């Protein structure tokens, strides 16, 4: 039997609904599972959910019944995953901070970029001195627990090197990827005079949605030959309906 890899994430499926939440990070997870399976590993995923097991593309995804969130860390999710994955050889913490407070001995984390620099993150990471210090402490513990952190950008590496001097050796920079055979200009461009702009992101404020909507409104009002296409999913059907309106 091949080596087994356990992956911990927060949401891939909606925690309580039969709904797939698909964005850039989720697409990354699909490709990562595919890569590991092609390398001969057995892969299973755990996330927040009500004790269910579902399957996506041949990979089992297990729901852990907790939604407790402390400053962008999930201590209860973390410890329950640790117990559930005891029989696995390796672990991947799909967000670095998920490796707090404990992590399997042979484990790596992933950083998908800095997500705590927008105003909505302040209640979790700032607000008072003691909370900021605790947030930094938890990030440091997660970093220490992991053997390695793969970062999709160098900004994150520079941040942690500045806050925790000497930590840059823990990181490996592997930029995000795209299949240029699938995502490329058409071989025969349309000659209809329309300029089409694609915004392929999850429909969430943290992904720059509000700013993109403002830009789209201004440009389409000013230039009648410009089209904006928003391609992504919201967390709920109601949210998607509002976006469509």
Q: What is the mean pLDDT of the chain?
A: 90
pLDDT band at 126 (very low <50, low <70, confident <90, very high): low
Distance of CA 173 to the CA centre of its chain: 16
Render pLDDT for 202-239 as a digit per residue (tens, 0 to 9). 887 777 888 999 999 999 999 999 999 998 887 777 77
Q: Over range 100-107, report the average pLDDT.
A: 96
For residue 38, give both structure tokens. 């092609």
Residue 124 has pLDDT above 90, yes or no: no
**So what's the pLDDT on residue 72?**
83
More confident residue, 130 or 51: 51
Q: Over range 150-170, report the average pLDDT.
A: 96
Render pLDDT for 2-61 as a digit per residue (tens, 0 to 9). 899 999 999 898 887 778 877 788 889 999 999 999 999 999 999 999 999 999 999 999
d(CA 12, CA 21): 5
Other residues' Cβ atoms within 10 Å of the Cβ of residue 151: 24
CATH class of the domain at 4-173:
alpha beta
Render pLDDT for 133-149 as a digit per residue (tens, 0 to 9). 888 999 999 999 999 99
pTM: 0.87
**So what's the pLDDT on residue 172?**
98
- Sorted by where each begins, the domain ranges of the chain are 4-173, 195-244
Other residues' Cβ atoms within 10 Å of the Cβ of residue 73: 23
Phi, psi angle pair for 170, to nearest 5°: -75, -15
Residues of the chain above pLDDT 70, percent: 97
d(CA 93, CA 12): 14
Q: Mind giving me the DSSP string for 134-168?
A: HHHHHHHHHHHH-SEEEES-HHHHHHHHHHSTT-G
């Amino acid at each position: 039997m091949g080596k087994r890899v356990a992956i911990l994430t927060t949401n891939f499926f909606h925690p309580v609904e039969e709904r797939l939440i698909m964005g850039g990070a989720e697409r990354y997870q699909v490709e990562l599972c595919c890569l590991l399976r092609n390398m001969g590993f057995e892969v299973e995923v755990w996330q927040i959910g009500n004790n269910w097991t579902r399957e996506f593309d041949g990979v089992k995804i297990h729901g852990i019944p907790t939604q407790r969130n402390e400053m962008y860390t999930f201590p209860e999710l973390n410890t329950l995953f640790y117990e559930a994955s005891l029989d696995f050889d390796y672990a991947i913490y799909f967000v670095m901070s998920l490796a707090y407070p404990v992590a399997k001995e042979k484990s790596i984390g992933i950083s998908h970029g800095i997500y705590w620099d927008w105003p909505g993150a302040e209640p979790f990471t700032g607000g008072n001195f003691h909370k900021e210090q605790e947030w930094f402490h938890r990030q440091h513990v997660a970093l220490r627990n992991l053997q390695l952190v793969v970062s999709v950008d160098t900004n994150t590496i520079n941040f942690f090197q500045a806050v925790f001097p000497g930590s840059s050796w823990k990181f490996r920079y592997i930029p995000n990827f795209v299949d240029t055979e699938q995502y490329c200009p058409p071989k025969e461009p349309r000659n209809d005079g329309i300029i089409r702009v694609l915004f392929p992101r999850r429909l969430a404020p943290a992904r720059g949605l509000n700013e993109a909507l403002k830009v789209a409104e201004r440009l389409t009002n000013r230039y009648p030959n410009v089209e904006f296409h928003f391609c992504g999913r919201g967390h709920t059907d109601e949210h998607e309906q509002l976006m469509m309106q």
